[in-house]
Each structure stands twice: as structure tokens, then as C-alpha cells.
Amino acid sequence: MTLTAGEEAALVQAAMQARKQAYAPYSRYTVGAAVLTATGKVFSGCNIENAVYPATCCAERVTIFKAVSEGERRLRALAVVTHNGGSPCGICRQVMREFAPDLLVLIADAAGHVRRLTLPDLLPDSFGPEDIGYVTGAEG
Ligand code: THU
């Protein structure tokens, strides 16, 4: 899975823009993400923290849930931006696995340096829908 340089730049830019909306008063670690769907749509999101800390939701999951809740279940690539180019957490990797086992993940820092990985790089030997006999796409 590859993107054109233009698609990649646009996705990282969308994630940078979304990062500005981050609600992170507790950690002060602001995160933005953007996903490109198979139909060419872009959805973006930010981390949203909570005074009850476990209720926090990461930017990647906010973004993927926005896409899925709008009927977009096939995802091509996801960009995530933090000040230091931090990698997606394990819970978000598992959510990516559900909808895009071959997802391209662009991990960028605030200066725009981008690392390109795939979901199998980030979550090898993963557990997925097939492991519980679920045929992806059969749900309608
Ligand atoms: N965070 C994300 O949004 N994505 C990740 O993959 C790592 C962590 C958020 C959660 C929390 O608001 C803050 O970063 C510090 O953990």
C-alpha cells in the first residue's frame, strides 16, 4: 500500500490540523490523526482526555470511529502527528487491525518528518475477525 506524495502530504496536513483541536489538559500531549478511506474520503480527529483518565480516547480511535460511523470501513492509510513522532498505542493498533489489516501508517512529528510503517510492522502475528470465524464484509 503506497500513497502518492501529494496524498501523503495532504493526509499528514489533515492530521496536523486536527491536532490543534486536541483536548489534552492533563497530559499536554496533543495528538492529531487523519485516515484516508478506500473511497477517497479523509476523516480526522484528535485525542480527547477526561478527568476520569481511562475515559480518554486516542486520536487514532476517534478518527477511525468517525470514518466507520460514516459508513467507511475500508481504510487505506492513517497519519498520526505528535510533537515527537510518537507511535500509536496498542489499543489503537488493534482497532486498526479490525478495519485495515494492511493499513499504511504514517507517523509524523511536528516538523513534518514522516516514518512509514504498515500495520503488520506495528502489530505482527495479530488477532483478528478471522480468528473467531468472522468473514469480514459479510455483515452487510
Ligand atoms: N494518545 C493518542 O492520542 N494516541 C496514541 O497512540 C498515544 C497516546 C493520547 C492519549 C492521551 O490523551 C495522551 O496521548 C497521552 O497518553
pLDDT at 140 (0 to 100):
55
Q: What local confidence, expressed as pLDDT, does residue 139 receive?
A: 66
How many domains are there within the chain?
1
Give the domain range for residue 103.
Answer: 5-132
Q: Is there a domain that residue 137 lies in? A: no
d(CA 52, CA 46): 18
Q: How far is 58 from 47, CA to CA, in rounded Å?
A: 4
Q: Which of 27, 52, 117 to mutate to test the pocket of ligand 1 (most atoms within 8 A of CB)?
A: 27
User: Catalytic residue at 60?
Assistant: yes
Nearest CA to ligand 1 atom 4: 58
Catalytic residue among 60, 70, 98, 139: 60
Residue 140 counted as domain residue: no
With a threshold of 0.85, does the pTM exceed it?
A: yes
Q: Ligand 1: which residue has its CA nearest to atom 9?
A: 58
Residue 61's CATH number: 3.40.140.10
Is the residue at 67 inside a domain? yes
Confidence at residue 91, expressed as pLDDT on a 0 to 100 scale: 98
- Domain assignment present for residue 138? The answer is no
- Please write the tens of the pLDDT for every residue from 15-35: 999 999 999 999 999 999 999
Confidence of residue 135 (pLDDT cuts 50, 70, 90): confident
| Alpha carbons 4 and 84: distance in angstroms, whole number | 24
Sheet holding 32-37, edge to edge: 42-46, 32-37, 75-81, 104-108, 114-118
Q: Specify if 139 maps to a domain.
A: no
